[in-house]
Amino acid sequence: APVVTIAVDGPSGSGKSSVSRAVATRLGLAYLDTGAMYRAATLWCVRSGVPLEDAGAVAAAVVAMPLEMGVDPSAPTVVLAGDDVAEAIRTTDVSSVVSQVATNLDVRAELRRRQRAVIETEAVGGFSGGRGVVAEGRDITTVVAPDADARVLLTASEEARLRRRSLEVHGAADADAVEATKDQVLRRDRDDATVSQFLVAADGVATVDSSDLDFDQTVEAVLAVVEHVT
């Protein structure tokens, strides 16, 4: 089979992580969660005592960051200095400040370089044995892998995204839980929009709106895009 690179972008709560993992599993591809890399970079700075306001120090810390991304879609891992940080990077402590690190252009250049290295490795070997990778984030379709074989923007209405995030974070989607999630999600989307435009599909990028689709239907819709272009 030919090497396949699939790029998936979308805002938080669009379901892009779980959908991308399922697509990678179905096609026997590796899975790269680039948001986890920005989260790990943030945790690394916090743990190293680097003030997030100091852009130069943040960039230097991220260039030296010992991060290993495990790209098996059935068990992706994030290992920072030998420490499994999969849970630590999902805490509010990290989520509330990750945009500050992600808007640092030197940080973006460094992580983009590492993301492309994973994509290149998977094209010739790696976890997938040269089958390829599904890479997911905010700027994969536009900046990291604009020449990917399939490019998908996964969107969902604000209401659907808040409901999903609320379920994820609070285990509930009643009015109070949704309200508690709202500020954080919308603020992060707005901050993120300053670095990359991920709410509108770029030229040649297929849009999949998951607002009225369940999980399996969303996976099928992304697979249909992949089939159409590969």
Binding residues for ATP: 10-18
CA 173 – CA 190 distance, rounded (Å): 22
Q: Which is nearer to ligand C5P, 34 or 166 (CB)?
A: 34
Residue type for 208, please? V
Which pairs count as long-range contacts for 46-52, CB under 8 Å and 24+ apart, including other chains?
Answer: 46/93, 46/94, 46/97, 52/97, 52/100, 52/101
In the complex, what is the shortest distance from the CB of residue 142 to ligand C5P, in angstroms, rounded to a whole number?
10
Nearer to ligand C5P, 32 or 225 (CB): 32
Identity of the residue, 99 or 128, whose beta carbon is nearer to ligand C5P in the bound complex: 99
Q: How far is the CB of 129 from ligand C5P (least distance, A)?
A: 25
- Which residues sit at the interface with ligand C5P, rule CB under 6 A? 12, 34-35, 38-39, 98-99, 102, 137-140, 188, 192, 195
Q: DSSP assignment, residue 150?
A: E
Q: Quick one: 95 or 121, whose CB is closer to ligand C5P? A: 95
Question: Of 41 and 50, which has the nearer Cβ to ligand C5P?
Answer: 41
Binding residues: 10-18
Q: How far is the CB of 123 from ligand C5P (least distance, A)?
A: 19
- Are the C-beta atoms of 157 and 211 separated by less than 8 Å? yes
CB of 188 to ligand C5P, least distance (A): 5
Q: How far is the CB of 34 from ligand C5P (least distance, A)?
A: 4
Provide the minimum distance between the beta carbon of 136 and ligand C5P in the complex, in angstroms, as a whole number.
7
Residue 84 or residue 129: which is nearer to ligand C5P going by CB?
Answer: 84
